[in-house]
A = this chain, B = another copy of it.
Amino acid sequence: MPSYRAPIEDVTFLLQDVVGFDRHGNLPGFGDLGPETLEAILREGAKLVEEVAQPLNRIGDEAGCTRAPDGSVSTPPGFRDAYRAYAAGGWIGLSAPEDYGGQGLPYTLTAVMNEFMSGANVAFGMYPGLTMGAVAALMQHGSQQQKDLYLPPMIEGRWTGTMNLTEPHCGTDLGMIRTKAVPRGDGSYAISGTKIFISAGEHDLSENIVHLVLARIEGAPAGTKGISLFVVPKFIPDADGRPGPRNGVACGSLEHKMGIHGNATCVMNYDGAVGWLVGEENRGLAAMFVMMNEARLAVGIQGLGLSEVAYQNAAAYARDRIQGRALTGPKAKDKPADPIIVHPDVRRTLLTIRAINEAGRALVLWTALQSDVAHRSPDPAVRQAADDALGLMTPVVKGVLTDLGFDNTVRAQQMLGGHGYIAEWGMEQFVRDARIAMIYEGANGIQALDLVGRKLPKDGGRAITAYLTETAAFLKDAAGDERLRPLATPVLAALGQLQQATVWFMQNALAKPDNAGAGATDYMHLMGLVALGTMWVRIAQAAHGRIAAGRDTAVMEAKLVTARFFVERWLPEAGARLACITAGSDAVMALPEAMF
């Protein structure tokens, strides 16, 4: 049975020494968070995920969710109690405004808890996760009345939330949505249509479910400009927020999925369900996209969390399992064989995972902090710069950390040989659970297009220009420190390759957009290598600081080794990515459709 330990020490090190969390004490919600308070919160959260959520991970996979003939859905055994404990701890509203019952703490802490929960039980974590997404959308676009009605019970956990976008014939291309909204004359609408792949669409954890639904108001313009957002509660609340009559929305079936069995993925049938417009008519997509940054970060974090738990269990197995002898002669002479961790290929594999996890965690925290600054700083220029960085890095965190996170679960599984393939050891569940993160909240190819097609050219390239400039300045500075030079110099070279790729797009993709499309995924991964490499230089800088101060020396020495490993074994990929990008789209576009 796999285990999970929340990486609290690494998080506090990264927050304090690497991403400069404590430099933001002036922001609302940050003020009271001294190191002790911060650590106390993290320990409380860690305890919850380790002791409550993680033990349900296996049963969640095995039992899954079940739908009764009446359309009601039961979650796996134990999920109800765990959900109650999660809600009672105030974790759903950790970063939600205090006005609505939240704790008003930084989103960065929510990001940390998301990682912990994803490592412990990603399918369970999706229930409160989707609620947080719906809360964010209502906060931003709901009327005052909607906020007053829906937010307190959602933040409290009595009600949960969902996002209803996908239909059988459309996922990426939401302009084709067919779900209809017909005015009922009293300001509400009758919503009819079928939504698929609705996570947490129906379940037994909460007394009400608040569906946010994209639909087309009768007579609205065709395409994306005719889509509106509606709130459709499962039980229609009265003005005091008491759930009343059952609305015309029901779970038609559950999908049989590769993984995340503990989460109910529903086909939702809307049959004249009563809904209320959220925000403006025909501006539903814009409303949804605002909440996408955090939702996409949350999915990237799932990749990280699963990569971390897979690593922990693979490393434990590699220390424990004896098999064969070291190439350099027996190490455990008292045993019939050495632990497999003596083998270079096993260590290489573990370090490959770890080099992504530790820098990935730093990148997540750095990006989450940008979100906090973008939303909370009093200085508009600071807010804008942070929002630029957030927008630029969100598709990278989502696309790269889920691609690599999935690959890492596969690598970790491989360390157990045949034992990795059977359910008993739990490693294959991590692989199956991690797979979805590359798909939902915008498949990773869409993330790459968002980065290259939208985020790069936005505001005349302001975000990427700032990122390249600031990162180059940091790396050049770091290269001046001889302890950091062996790391900073190759990362600077990779940054140069990213710059070349950016310029190549500017020169070759304007007239021929297929050149951007054909290189988008490689560009996203090249940017990921640069971003992770930069984090390794920052981590190494901080590690030298702690070593000089005699703090956590062994752990910090391990950071330096892993940083070196990243530069030696991951960074060479940057050149290959650049070569793929500059190959352009000719070969890609040459074949007629019928020849595929």
Contact = CB atoms under 8 A, between A and B. Distances in A.
Interface string A421-443: 11110001001100110111001
Interface stretch (A82-90, A114-122, A346-354, A388-396): A346-354
Contacts of A547: none
A170 interface: yes
Nearest to A518: B344
A350 B439 contact: no
A596 B414 contact: no
Given A171-B418, A414-B444, A518 B348 contact: yes
Interface string A160-176: 00000010011111001
A4 interface: no
Contacts of A444: 414
Chain A interface residue number, banded: 35 or more
Given A172-B417, A173-B324, A513-B328, A345 B448 contact: yes
A488 interface: no
A337 interface: yes
Interface string A514-533: 10111011000000000000
Given A258-B422, A328-B514, A580 B569 contact: yes
Number of copies: 2
Interface stretch (A18-26, A43-51, A587-595): A587-595
A170 to B, nearest CB: 7
A436 B414 CA distance: 9
A516 B327 contact: yes
Given A417-B172, A585-B344, A257 B423 contact: yes
Interface stretch (A73-81, A241-249, A281-289, A570-578): A570-578
A593 B438 contact: no
A580 B176 CA distance: 47
Contacts of A169: 322
A22 B200 CA distance: 60
A596 B315 contact: yes
A264 interface: no
Contacts of A196: 418
A318 B172 CA distance: 14
A378 interface: no
Nearest to A316: B596
The listed residue with most B CB atoms (<10 A of its CB), out of A339, A345, A516, is A345
A431 B258 CA distance: 10
Contacts of A568: 579-580, 583, 587
B351 A588 contact: yes
Contacts of A431: 258, 435
Contact of A587 (B173, B350, B351): B351
27 contacts: A169-B322, A170-B323, A172-B324, A173-B324, A197-B418, A255-B422, A256-B422, A258-B421, A259-B421, A327-B516, A339-B593, A341-B593, A344-B514, A344-B520, A345-B520, A348-B518, A349-B445, A414-B438, A414-B443, A414-B444, A420-B439, A421-B439, A431-B435, A561-B587, A565-B587, A568-B580, A569-B587
